[in-house]
Structure 1
Amino acid sequence: MDQEMPVNTRFRAPRTILAAACAALLLAACGGERAETGTAGADAEAAPAAAGEVNLYTTREPGLIQPLLDAFTAQSGTRVNTVLLKDGLLERLGAEGARSTADVLMVVDTGNMLDLVEAGHTQPLQSEVLESAIPAHLRGADDQWFAMSLRDRVLYAHRDLELESFHYEDLADPQWKGKVCIRSGQHPYNTSLFAAMIAHHGAEATEQWLTGVKANLARKAAGGDRDVARDILAGICDIGIANAYYVGRMKNAEPGSEQHQWGEAIKVIRPTFDVEGGGTHVNISGAALARHAPNRDNAVALMEYLVSDEAQSLYARANYEYPVKAGVELDPVVASFGELTVDPLPLTEVVANRREASALVDKVGFDN
């Protein structure tokens, strides 16, 4: 797959209700005992702390974060117990309630992180280490969540195209008619970008922009981010919007492989919003302290380690994501994209527009 599974791909699907019901039935059948897959009643006593371990609930692909967790264990001696939940994290936490063993919650996409906050599954964490490493617009104003790495939404362009700079607004320029590729507008990566466009220009202007982008599509909005590079190589389109870290994966793939060929066919341009002080749109992988964390001290230690120079460098070299902490050495491929100037708009303001952005995608028939 071309993505990590988000908690909600489009806010709330009916199957999540079923998941919650199943969790409740499992709890009743087990008499309130916690199985390895773990469900527990909300009114039960809090789980006791266990020395030397920390429990991580995450939607992230294990291979992408395991090097970080292994390094933390090697440094601290604290064992990390990872619970991978590709779907149903909100429902799992709701079913477990105060008996939840979760210490740290880690997800991708700001919207998914704020869903956890709004559902009451996190708690504030005041940490000088986190606050000094993470810019204010990349963490919750109430210290409920923190970005751990950045995923910039960039332009893939044919490597021979004479193009050195770009604004997101330019995607609707008629000069690109029939030359643009992009994945579904309802995917969280794009919904987040469109929500940022609303924050900068308003809903009416964003609707007009989306209509213009749709008119410029070379094919239906579908597939994944790497498919944009594939289709540029195939001559289907000249430019497209996708996440930068996929390029690191493609260009570092086995020479001669399909993915390596896709990566070699493109160059990366970091677009900015065409507003005063506008920067490049980013989404995040983020972490939060779980509301009932039984191993709180170890949880804080893990979160603080994740913004250390060592961990941030691992993010950059293993995942090709952009470090949230300034001054960390980048992977050479990522460094070749040039300096990243992050759009200063607080991500909480962006996320506030995601439902309206999703509605606009449907209104203009973007994915049709």
Structure 2
Amino acid sequence: MSLRFASTLALLATATPALAQEVNLYSYRQPELLKPLTDAFTEKTGITVNVAYLDSGMVERLQAEGDRSPADLVFTVDISRLAALVDAGVTQSVESDVLSENVPSEYRDPDGQWFGLTTRARIVYASKDRVDPSEVTTYEDLADPKWEGRICTRSGTHPYNVALVAAMLHHHGEEETRTWLEGVKSNLARKPQGNDRAQVRAIWAGECDISLGNTYYMGKMLQDEEQQEWANSVNVLFPEFEDGGTHVNISGVAMTQSAPNRENALQMMEFLASPEAQEVYAHANFEYPIAPGTEADELVQGWGEFDADEVNLMTLAGLRGDALRLIEEVDFDG
């Protein structure tokens, strides 16, 4: 643990605890990623945090529970999943000056239904041996025939790739996006498969030269003894849209419609949006904090700087249906 991380965590824990209360979370994020935050929040406020970790089916569970749901907050990743919660009517609007000040407008729902906590960039992993970093500057370039037989990716219908295609739709419209998808498909070295880390392994094994992936997987691979060799075989490159920036997605939080402990839930949301808490969370996840004045972990900063695309993520959420349709129409995974 870095000295900076330790001192930040200590700062979060310095306050007089209040009378014991509770707040209940449903989370798609792994226990080890949330524990530093939940422990610090409990130490600061005296509020006990109960977490139910889910692999899938969060929307369906909340709908089935209805007003009887014990959940106060939901944690998830990707704008598509946050939008799905809103569309299902299982969240409620939250107004808070603290949240508005600490979460930039492009990373929160205009109606206050959800708030981003950290961001991750959808980047290109490129072989250090076979790809000059100057060759990869835009997402549009991935459809160039020079990459024929050289690209690996996970399923095109995975939410991470659907969000990227939605961003392409926002910037270029349907016909250009369809042509781009067909071009990227023709450049694939193999049928889409596996997760983002599996693509880096394929580059290491010589099966392809570049892949799409989220930035934080580099940190996770460097923590894994077996996967360190994969990670060290690639560069992290930050392509941009020709008329925009680097595509980013978020981890986020929303208050449930039922929220039996609403005041405690709001207190936790404001805590999570604080600069100190965001740096702890981003450190644990190898992501980028979004509160003003915050910085990513030194390891993450070492991957390079980039200008994030400025489109509001709710705009992309509204395009996810069209994006998925195009992906399926070109039979991207076929």
Separation (CA, whole Å) in 1 of partners of 2:103 and 2:229: 36
Measured against aligned partners, the alpha-carbon deviations of 1:277-313 in whole angstroms (never above 9, x if no partner) come to: x111111111111112121111011111112222211
Match of 1:219 in 2: 190
Match of 1:130 in 2: 99
Within 5 Å, give how 1:80-91 maps onto structure 2: 80-91=49-60
C-alpha displacement of 1:181: 0.9
Within 5 Å, give how 1:278-293 maps onto structure 2: 278-293=244-259
Match of 1:197 in 2: 168
5+ residue gaps, structure 1: 1-49
Write the letter of the residue equivalent to 2:330: V
Match of 1:162 in 2: 132
Identical columns (%): 49
- Which of 276, 280, 288 does residue 310 from structure 1 map onto? 276
Write the letter of the residue equivalent to 2:231: G
Separation (CA, whole Å) in 1 of partners of 2:223 and 2:60: 37
Q: 1:51 touches 1:295 (CA, 8 Å); kept in 2? A: no
SS of equivalent to 2:326: helix
Q: 2:29 touches 2:76 (CA, 8 Å); kept in 1? A: yes
C-alpha displacement of 1:51: 5.8
Within 5 Å, give how 1:75-154 maps onto structure 2: 75-154=44-123
Match of 1:328 in 2: 294
Write the letter of the residue equivalent to 2:197: R
TM-score of the aligned structures, taking structure 1 as reference length: 0.82
Match of 1:236 in 2: 207
Q: 2:125 touches 2:235 (CA, 8 Å); kept in 1? A: yes
Q: 1:315 touches 1:322 (CA, 8 Å); kept in 2? A: no
148-157 or 111-120: bigger deviation: 111-120
Q: 1:150 touches 1:324 (CA, 8 Å); kept in 2? A: yes
Q: 1:270 touches 1:337 (CA, 8 Å); kept in 2? A: no
Separation (CA, whole Å) in 1 of partners of 2:211 and 2:58: 32
- Which of 219, 231, 235 does residue 267 from structure 1 map onto? 235
Give the 4+ runs in structure 1 shifted more than 6 A. none
- Which of 290, 301, 309 does residue 267 from structure 2 map onto? 301
Root mean square deviation of aligned Cα = 1.5
C-alpha displacement of 1:331: 2.0
Match of 2:180 in 1: 209
Write the letter of the residue equivalent to 2:132: E
Q: 1:251 touches 1:333 (CA, 8 Å); kept in 2? A: no
Write the letter of the residue equivalent to 1:240: S
76-85 or 239-248: bigger deviation: 76-85
SS of equivalent to 2:67: helix
Match of 1:62 in 2: 31
159-168 or 80-89: bigger deviation: 159-168
Match of 1:248 in 2: 219
Write the letter of the residue equivalent to 1:310: E
C-alpha displacement of 1:175: 1.0
Write the letter of the residue equivalent to 1:359: R
C-alpha displacement of 1:332: 2.3
Q: 2:288 touches 2:295 (CA, 8 Å); kept in 1? A: no
C-alpha displacement of 1:100: 1.8
Write the letter of the residue equivalent to 2:86: V
Separation (CA, whole Å) in 2 of partners of 1:93 and 1:182: 32
Separation (CA, whole Å) in 1 of partners of 2:51 and 2:303: 33
5+ residue gaps, structure 2: 1-18
* Number of residue equivalences: 314
Separation (CA, whole Å) in 2 of partners of 1:58 and 1:208: 37
C-alpha displacement of 1:251: 2.1
Separation (CA, whole Å) in 2 of partners of 1:229 and 1:89: 30
User: Does 1 or 2 have the higher relative contact order (CA < 8 Å, sep 6+)?
Assistant: 2
SS of equivalent to 1:258: coil
Separation (CA, whole Å) in 2 of partners of 1:94 and 1:187: 23
Separation (CA, whole Å) in 2 of partners of 1:308 and 1:219: 43
SS of equivalent to 2:117: strand
Q: 2:114 touches 2:253 (CA, 8 Å); kept in 1? A: yes
Q: 2:119 touches 2:288 (CA, 8 Å); kept in 1? A: yes
Q: 1:214 touches 1:366 (CA, 8 Å); kept in 2? A: yes
Measured against aligned partners, the alpha-carbon deviations of 1:243-282 in whole angstroms (never above 9, x if no partner) come to: 00000111233xxx3200011001101111111xx11111
C-alpha displacement of 1:319: 0.9
Measured against aligned partners, the alpha-carbon deviations of 1:345-366 in whole angstroms (never above 9, x if no partner) come to: 1111111111211121121121
Match of 2:316 in 1: 350
